[in-house]
Amino acid sequence: MPETHTRESHLSVIESGIEPPAIALQDVVFERQGKALVDGLNLTLAAHGTTVLMGPNGAGKSLTLRIMAGLIAPGQGKIRWNGTETLPSQRVALVFQKPVLLRRSVRANLKHALKIYGVPRSEQGQRLEELLEMGHLKELADRPARVLSGGEQQRVALVRALAARPKLLLLDEPTASLDPQATAAIEDLIRTAAASGAKVLLVTHDRGQAQRLADEIVFLNHGRVTEVTSAAQFFDAPRSREGRTYLSGHLLF
């Protein structure tokens, strides 16, 4: 039997009082054409640290991130943020595999983000410099963002997301098409975000990356969580049959 996390087991985490969860997905369902693509998802996440969401193609990882970002509404279920259902939308940021940047300079992309995230005008200049510095983008600041390399564009997308000082940073395979050096630069930014207190939820198929960054692994299959395990435990001996099958390189059905 897969060790499916039940609502009760997650609630017991909440009730243990060790660290109050910032985010709780409760029985979240997303259906299309009569098929549950996210199928009664129960998951609680602590306020800090990096959680890596793994699972085979089509498991529902991207859908889960989109639901959490408020981009799509689940048909059923609830997402609670610190016990309330109010989504702090300005403090949730989502970065996609393919950066979506404005057809303007790097500087203009970041300025626009600072404005829409409501950073006071008096602070925008200094914050802009911090973001350029953080992303090693100073020399690229006046270049059109869309002509940069894939790795550079993703650095812009990530620091632009950080302009919001997000409490929750959702990352959907942010390095899937990047070379090792560009990947390392993105991983550094992810570590910086986590160290500054953001909760990071990262989707990746890159095991090395998951091992480098994850505090815990959430494994998803057919829109359901099969296990939530420390990263060390998961890569040593996954608890669920689905996790073991995935790591062994076999197809999951």
Ligand X SMILES: Nc1ncnc2c1ncn2[C@@H]1O[C@H](COP(=O)(O)OP(=O)(O)OP(=O)(O)O)[C@@H](O)[C@H]1O
Instruction: List interacting residues with ligand X (CB under 6 A).
Output: 32, 37, 55, 57-63
In terms of DSSP bridges, do strands 92-95 and 168-172 run parallel, antiparallel, or are they unpaired?
parallel
In terms of DSSP bridges, do strands 199-203 and 76-81 run parallel, antiparallel, or are they unpaired?
unpaired
Burial 132-170 (b: 16+ CB within 10 A, else e): bebbebeebbeeebbebebbbbbbbbbbbbbbbbbbbbb
Kindly state the smallest distance separating residue 58's Cβ from ligand X, in Å.
Answer: 4
Kindly state the smallest distance separating residue 219's Cβ from ligand X, in Å.
Answer: 11
Kindly state the smallest distance separating residue 229's Cβ from ligand X, in Å.
Answer: 18
Kindly state the smallest distance separating residue 6's Cβ from ligand X, in Å.
Answer: 21
Question: Could you tell me if 156 and 135 are in contact, meaning their C-beta atoms sit under 8 angstroms apart?
Answer: yes
Kindly state the smallest distance separating residue 17's Cβ from ligand X, in Å.
Answer: 32
Question: Could you tell me if 67 and 28 are in contact, meaning their C-beta atoms sit under 8 angstroms apart?
Answer: yes
Nearer to ligand X, 58 or 70 (CB): 58
Nearer to ligand X, 97 or 192 (CB): 97
Nearer to ligand X, 36 or 102 (CB): 36
The burial class, CB within 10 Å (0-12 / 13-18 / 19+), for 248 is exposed
Nearer to ligand X, 159 or 220 (CB): 220
Give the count of beta carbons closer than 10 Å to the beta carbon of residue 22: 17
Nearer to ligand X, 63 or 131 (CB): 63
Helices 150-162 and 106-116, packing angle to 10 deg: 20
